Structure 1
Amino acid sequence: MIVENPRALFFKKLAAHTFLIAFIALILFPFLMVLSISFREGNFSTGSLWPERPTLEHWYLALGIPYERPNGVIVQPPFPVMLWLWNSIKIGVIASAGILMLSTTAAYAFSKLRFRHKGIVLDSLLIIQMFPAALTVIALYTLFDALGSITPLLGVDSHWALVIAYLSAITLHIWTIKGYFDSMDPALDKAAQIDGATPWQTFRFVFLPMSIPILAVVFVLAFIFLVTEYPIAAVLLREQGQMTLAVGARQYLYEQRYLWGDFAAAAILSGIPITLVFLLAQRYLVSGLSEGAVKG
């Protein structure tokens, strides 16, 4: 057996740790810059990483709280950031749950049931997913503008219209969950059929409980995408009170004046729901990525 030189091993470890620290610092630097801007006095995008005179003005305004400056001037919040954040969370949760329900049932059908042209339909879904969502914004606006004349619930500036538009994101997740179902032991299907279970009962009581890790992964991925989605939401949501945070934050950057400090505070707030969802689903994410579908 060849024993590696301890000195050479030490330098290899040192190089690996140095590279890892540098890589993490490179990733965190943009976030630290945004955090620094949110605490700077005024609305400037340039300056030192550590603010010279830190202030909580931008955070007060982002949270909807009036801020009194040292000179006695009271600044009112310019935009309803917390309402935008709530809209983002509400739409993200409802749409993600809908995507999860539709993609899970469709993936089970494609994986375990037999029907004609199954392969053609799967390939078609994959091809459709390759086209950017931004290409559909004109068609979506026209569609929901026409639906709005019939029922305002599905018209422009309706959250339900945006949720329905977001449900089109199921195609990629169908493939993801189908791959998980395909890896499960086919004997489970046969055993359930011998016991007299219907396809729905097999799905509900056998496969669904075993699929919680991959379902958590799909929900988190869908939620992250929907909370940060901009093109479709910017077209369908026009009224200020209906906007999501991704769309509303653009209001800080108008031509006459760029409110970089307020924008930075709102941008950091937008990451809070994503972080919380990730932490809540963390144990399922770890098990979904590290364990197989069948335990021997």
Structure 2
Amino acid sequence: MNKRAGIGFYLFLVLFVFLVMFPFIWVFLTSIKPPSEIFSSFRWFTTNPSLDSYEAALTNRPLLRYMLNSFVVSGITTVLSLAFASLTAYAVTRLPIKGKGLILGIVLASSMFPQIAIISPMFNLVTDLGLRNSYLGLVIPYITISLPLAIWILSTFFQKIPFELEESAKLDGATPFQTFRKIIFPLAAPGVFTTGILVFIAAWNEYLFALTINSDDMWRTVPVGISMYQSEFSVPWGDISAATVIVTIPIVLLVLLFQRRIVSGLTSGSVKE
């Protein structure tokens, strides 16, 4: 009976993984089909695989420039968000501040506003500052939408660190900032790293602000750049599929490279000692 249950579990696991991976598998198989075969046949595999779509994706649009823009904007957003969020989370969880619950509640409430509700004032702000078609013009709104999430997640990790360590540091004459820098932050490193990955991916995939603020083609990010492949009379699905595969590879490699740290951060503090 246990053997049958084990086989059933693995069959369910294989089916579940297949359903999750199906969109990515289909996009990849579409990207290697000749353009004429994409619409004429619904077969899974092509008998004449081709890399023409990848060449067209890299030459018809400045895809590498889009990727560079996304890397720069997402990287700056991640660094600044983690810097501000870690200090804020430390203050509201470890320092004697009144109204901590209210502060965290306001932070959580601010993250619930839909982007479309703040796009107009944010657009006016960036325009008045003369930051349209620039990296900083996207970093500012990206921080506004990623900072509340980062603060909330890091607050959870900081709360799980024993307060005895902080009290020992105070007895040794350490200042609050020294305690944060030498004790709290290193112990919360798995959570900080996981939060950074989440912020980076969210900034990488953001579309609305990137579409509105950076209208110059050389300043567009990956999601907006891929949407520009379609023309007035046709949609080059082969080029779009190839571009999707190309821009997904860095994110997949990033997650695979740091998967242990991500899992460590997600499970940090989940076991009560």
TM-score scaled by structure 1?
0.86
- 1:252-291 matched pairs, under 5 angstroms: 252-291=229-268
2:19 to 1, 26, 30: 26
Per-residue CA deviations over 1:28-68 (Å, capped at 9, x if unaligned) read 11111111111111163562111232111111233x3xxxx
1:79 to 50, 58, 61: 61
Q: Is the 8 Å Cα contact of residues 184 and 294 (structure 1) preserved in structure 2?
A: no
Deviation at 1:119, TM superposition (A): 2.5
2:54 to 52, 59, 64: 59
Q: What letter matches 2:134 in structure 1?
A: S
**What residue is the counterpart of 1:292 in the other structure?**
269
- 1:126-141 matched pairs, under 5 angstroms: 126-141=108-123
How many residue pairs get aligned? The number is 270
**What residue is the counterpart of 2:93 in the other structure?**
111
1:161 to 124, 137, 142: 137
Structure 2: 5+ residue stretches without partners: none
Deviation at 1:280, TM superposition (A): 3.1
1:187 equivalenced with 2:169 (yes/no): no
Q: What letter matches 1:194 in structure 2?
A: L
Per-residue CA deviations over 1:251-277 (Å, capped at 9, x if unaligned) read 112331101000001111121221222
**What residue is the counterpart of 2:191 in the other structure?**
214
**What residue is the counterpart of 1:47 in the other structure?**
42
**How far apart are the structure 2 equivalents of 1:225 and 1:40?**
30
**How far apart are the structure 1 equivalents of 2:109 and 2:272?**
34
Per-residue CA deviations over 1:140-174 (Å, capped at 9, x if unaligned) read 111111111xxxxxx21111110111111111211
Per-residue CA deviations over 1:217-254 (Å, capped at 9, x if unaligned) read 00110111111110111111101111011101001123
Q: Is the 8 Å Cα contact of residues 189 and 202 (structure 1) preserved in structure 2?
A: yes
Q: What letter matches 1:120 in structure 2?
A: L
**How far apart are the structure 2 equivalents of 1:294 and 1:27?**
29
Deviation at 1:196, TM superposition (A): 0.2
1:245 equivalenced with 2:208 (yes/no): no
Deviation at 1:292, TM superposition (A): 2.9
Q: What letter matches 1:210 in structure 2?
A: L
Q: Which has the higher contact order (CA 8 A, sep 6+)?
A: 2
% identical equivalent positions: 31
- After the TM superposition, which of the residue ranges 230-239 and 248-257 deviates more from structure 2? 248-257
Higher-Rg structure is 1
Q: What letter matches 1:133 in structure 2?
A: Q
**What residue is the counterpart of 1:234 in the other structure?**
211
Deviation at 1:135, TM superposition (A): 2.0
Alpha carbon RMSD of aligned pairs, Å?
Answer: 1.8
Q: Is the 8 Å Cα contact of residues 66 and 221 (structure 2) preserved in structure 1?
A: yes
**How far apart are the structure 1 equivalents of 2:104 and 2:25?**
43
- After the TM superposition, which of the residue ranges 239-248 and 252-261 deviates more from structure 2? 252-261
**How far apart are the structure 1 equivalents of 2:182 and 2:257?**
24
**How far apart are the structure 1 equivalents of 2:26 and 2:103?**
46
C-alpha distance 40-33 of structure 1, shift in aligned 2 (>3 A): same
TM-score scaled by structure 2?
0.93
Deviation at 1:117, TM superposition (A): 3.1
Q: Is the 8 Å Cα contact of residues 40 and 261 (structure 1) preserved in structure 2?
A: yes
C-alpha distance 280-14 of structure 1, shift in aligned 2 (>3 A): closer
**How far apart are the structure 2 equivalents of 1:97 and 1:295?**
31
